[in-house]
Amino acid sequence: MTDRVSEEAPSSAHVARLEGVGLSYGKTRALDGITLDIPSGCMVGLIGPDGVGKSSLLSLIAGARALQEGRINVLGGDIGNAVHRRLVSPRIAYMPQGLGKNLYPTLSVFENVDFFGRLFGQDKEERDRRIAGLLKGTGLAPFVDRPAGKLSGGMKQKLGLCCALIHDPDLLILDEPTTGVDPLSRRQFWELIDEIRLGRAGMSVIVSTAYMEEAARFDWLVAMDAGNVLATDTADEILRRTGAPNLDAAFIALLPEEKRAGHTEIVIPPRSAEADGEIAIEAEHLTMRFGNFTAVDNVSFRILRGEIFGFLGSNGCGKTTTMKMLTGLLPASEGTARLFGKDVDPNDIEIRRRVGYMSQAFSLYTELTVQQNLELHARLFGMASAAIPARVRSMAERFDLAGSMDAMPEALPLGIRQRLSLAVAMVHSPEILILDEPTSGVDPVARDNFWEILSGLSRTDNVTIFVSTHFMNEAALCDRISFMHAGKVLVSDTPAAIMEKRAAATLEEAFVAYLEEAIGEKEAAREGEVISVVEATSSAAGVLERTQRFFDPRRMFAYSNREALELQRDPIRATLALVGSLILMLVIGYGINMDVENLSFAVLDRDDTGISREYALQISGSRYFNERPPITDYDDMDRRMRNGELSLAIEIPPGFGRDVARGNRAEISAWIDGAMPTRAETVRGYVQGVHSAWLTQKTRQRYGEAATIGDFQLAIRYRYNPDVRSLVAIVPAIIPILLLMIPSMLAVLSVVREKELGSIINFYVTPVTRIEFLLGKQIPYVLLAAFNVILLTGFAIFIFRVPFTGSFLVFGTAALLYVIVTTSMGLAISTFVNSQIAAIFGTALITVVPAVQYSGLIDPVSSLHGFGAFIGNIFPTTYFVTISRGSFSKALDFGDLAGSFVPLIIAIPVLLGFGAAFLKKQAG
């Protein structure tokens, strides 16, 4: 470990200097005018619970978040200045909060690190050399092909560290890197950091943590609360200044008086000797499998009534799954879970009433007040309405919520929210309380107050408490604890007995010993491997030159390669994009078919003569009509038209045959289903045409050819579509619609998904430019859409039988330009939305509606007026519809369609430029 740096370090030795830095999220003040000098060349720790501003401060120093107030100098310049930020980004590495948040779960260990190497413009030889050293030094070399999503919490953090160190940073920023990691992995992680620092003299490390026992190993500490700095100094000096025995107590002593007033050290009295030995919770060979993955493996334990039982283990070891099986939320694959001697049955409300469950994440209704949440959960557990008000008042007094009953949960501090969750879990007076990491992120005072409440519930009310935690000082308060790893319980006993069995001075040392035994290996010092972590260095000038290029294909193709790998690992997405297009083409192609053929009709013949029957035969003989059984009366006609059996009803009046024979005026009635006006007008034309043709025929039969002398014939010939089939017009226009909708959605989701998962941080803190990011995202989806063009064209020709008369080269070139346009539209839309649901709906509205209404799919653009004409003339789909129909039906070549190519070519730089201009390179 490096020598500790005193608070009075000279200004030239500061890696970062903050002056009046403020940050707000809406009405919430995250940082309140912080002024701070952070020394360089050492490990600086930001300590404090969740919500005090640690993560916000680190993201500002890393340049990942836009600065709202004040000034931050990092590595000799203003981090708020885009030019300086671009210059120093290759010298900064940032690991955001959350296990593997900057990693890609479907990519392997090697592929994740390789991706980061590409982002910093490293060639293949350099990447391979660096990756080999990093993976060997971190012990990840045996897992090089394992997907990141299948790594343990500790391995994810090591992989994240490899990704951060791929470019030899001068400043390493780690935001709570060990949260949710087991003690052994935590120890290994910090030993690895120490070894890297030995090999990288002068590297500065800034770390945030909620674990006070970790903070003791840092060179310099910054204690924070409510967006303010409480103290800065070495750990020893802070302990001396506060007179506290440990940093937990020291942090409490540093808090404002109003926050620590009345606080006393938590002491849980021993269980009464008269406590009965009734078994409250029993797990017998519990096993839970998800497919081929065994989350809980043959777990057995017993918990006595009134006992506080602690459950310890890393994230993903099976604690939460075990708790859900005990509460009936998950049915066990094997084994038995019992509560008070009765098998757990999810449908047994009486057993469920005896259990209160507080989940790991805050799960109450944020749109309800504190009082409404309590009342709602009381009703859900079937409490008598008359008893609810008194019970709610009792919970408010017991859990100190009386002053917050009308507040919304989101407006409450984290400690009060945790008390509210506990009150909700206790509102129906359960005999068992199951708590999943209830104090995660809570400050020490609130944590001690929480355990005071648990102590009273256990010792006074005889409530059995089953609690999971990551904090060893909390585990020491439990009557008994279990250590869990990889789905198995390693040991169950009292904290003192567990330490005695392992001859350990602390509970953490005992846990580490059990984990090492379970894993089957003990980590030794890796002095020879430290060199391999850092030996693959490049000259500073070379690194600066390659990272400052405005455009580097390696950075662009880093995103293209990653996106292609994710498509390959998630074939459902690619298959739906292709098969979904074909399905939609079938549905839309036949759904918008305007041809009227095989129209169902029936006759109500009130004349019943040879002439009337001949008239009916004349209609049924047409290919447009399909005759149904005769209509008996008006009620029959009304019923059959209402249920859709008939689209046309012909009523022949009495005397029809007589009138025709005498040459008198002959009338019939035609009843047409007018639910679809366009179709009804077409049917009307068919009926009038058939009627006129029949009357002309009868006139000739009666009077001879002389009766029609003077008639003239209009010879009509249809070009490009001789049979006047609507499919010939509709299908070529559907291809542009589908190539607009699906590629644009895939493109917008590729960016928004990174925003939701948090991996967009990699774009914020690396030298990747906006245009490199957008083009890199776009390329895989352009290639996928190009293949889609081939499928849709083949479908149109061979399934819909639409003739292709033009040039495949011209059509293919136009289609390629068009899918570049449509994916560019998706990327432009992605700059304004942050959720995948909003992206899907927004893209559908912005693309499909104008394309269907204004691109000439049904009505020519030339017939539009006003705003519709404006949209039609600027929308790219309009021009590709013209090219598509011209290529399929009119045999047009490039010379004929050049005017439609120009708008597509212009749209590409316009849309990409728009997307680049509005794409944020910082959060906020």
Integer Cα distance of 672 and 690 in angstroms: 15
Interval 383-398 mean pLDDT: 89
Residue-level pLDDT at 536: 42
Residue 293, token pair as written in the block: 């993955």
Give the percent of the chain with pLDDT over 90. Answer: 34
Residue 859 has pLDDT above 90, yes or no: no
Neighbours of 350 (CB within 10 A): 9
Residue 734 has pLDDT above 50, yes or no: yes
Residue 627 has pLDDT above 80, yes or no: yes
Interval 311-317 mean pLDDT: 77
Q: How many CA atoms lie less than 13 Å away from 450 in the CB half-sphere?
A: 25
Least confident of 349-363, 706-720, 904-918: 706-720
Strand order across the 43-47 sheet: 92-95, 171-175, 204-209, 43-47, 220-225, 228-233
Residue-level pLDDT at 111: 94
For the CA atoms of 58, 60, 62, 63, what is the dihedral angle to 10 degrees? 160
Residue of higher predicted confidence among 731 and 706 = 731
Residue 832 has pLDDT above 80, yes or no: yes
Residue-level pLDDT at 381: 84
Interval 379-402 mean pLDDT: 88
pLDDT digits (tens, 9 = 90+) for 884-903: 999 998 888 998 899 999 99
Kindly tell me the burial class for residue 627, based on how many C-beta atoms sit within 10 Å of its own C-beta (0-12, 13-18, 19 or more). Answer: middle
pLDDT digits (tens, 9 = 90+) for 354-380: 888 887 666 778 888 999 999 998 998
Residue of higher predicted confidence among 535 and 698 = 698
Q: pLDDT band at residue 293, thresholds of 50, 70 and 90?
A: confident
Residue 521 has pLDDT above 80, yes or no: no
Integer Cα distance of 740 and 843 in angstroms: 10
Q: pLDDT band at residue 273, thresholds of 50, 70 and 90?
A: low
Residue-level pLDDT at 865: 85
Residue 869 has pLDDT above 50, yes or no: yes
Task: Let me know: does 538 contact 167? Beta carbons within 8 Å.
Answer: no
Beta bridge pairs of residue 206 = 44, 173
Residue 808 has pLDDT above 70, yes or no: yes
pTM across the whole model? 0.80
pLDDT digits (tens, 9 = 90+) for 422-434: 888 888 888 888 8
Residue 529 has pLDDT above 50, yes or no: no
Q: pLDDT band at residue 18, thresholds of 50, 70 and 90?
A: very high
Residue 154 has pLDDT above 90, yes or no: no
Same fold flag, 11-106+171-256 and 599-708: no
Q: pLDDT band at residue 822, thresholds of 50, 70 and 90?
A: very high
Residue 239 has pLDDT above 50, yes or no: yes
Residue 750 has pLDDT above 70, yes or no: yes
- Which is it for the CA torsion 777, 778, 779, 783, positive or negative? positive
Residue of higher predicted confidence among 6 and 552 = 552
H/E element holding 127? helix 124-138
Residue-level pLDDT at 538: 46
Residue-level pLDDT at 149: 85
Q: What mean pLDDT is reported for the chain?
A: 85
H/E element holding 225? strand 220-225
Give the residue among 187, 127, 124, 186 at the shortest CA–CA distance from 162: 127
Residue-level pLDDT at 537: 45
Determine the topology of domain 599-708 in CATH: abc type-2 transporter like fold (3.40.1710)
Residue 769, token pair as written in the block: 């430019």
Return the HEC string of 586-605.
Answer: HHHHHHCCCCCCCEEEEEEE
Tell how strand 279-290 and strand 92-95 pair up: unpaired
Residue-level pLDDT at 525: 37
Largest CA distance in the chain: 126
Residue-level pLDDT at 2: 38
Kindly tell me the burial class for residue 242, based on how many C-beta atoms sit within 10 Å of its own C-beta (0-12, 13-18, 19 or more). Answer: middle
Residue-level pLDDT at 10: 38
Residue of higher predicted confidence among 448 and 307 = 307
CATH class of the domain defined by 11-106+171-256: alpha beta
Residue-level pLDDT at 678: 72
Integer Cα distance of 903 and 897 in angstroms: 11
Give the percent of the chain with pLDDT over 70. Answer: 91
Q: pLDDT band at residue 595, thresholds of 50, 70 and 90?
A: low
Spell out the domain ranges in the chain.
11-106+171-256, 355-429, 553-588+725-918, 599-708
Residue-level pLDDT at 240: 92
Q: pLDDT band at residue 713, thresholds of 50, 70 and 90?
A: low
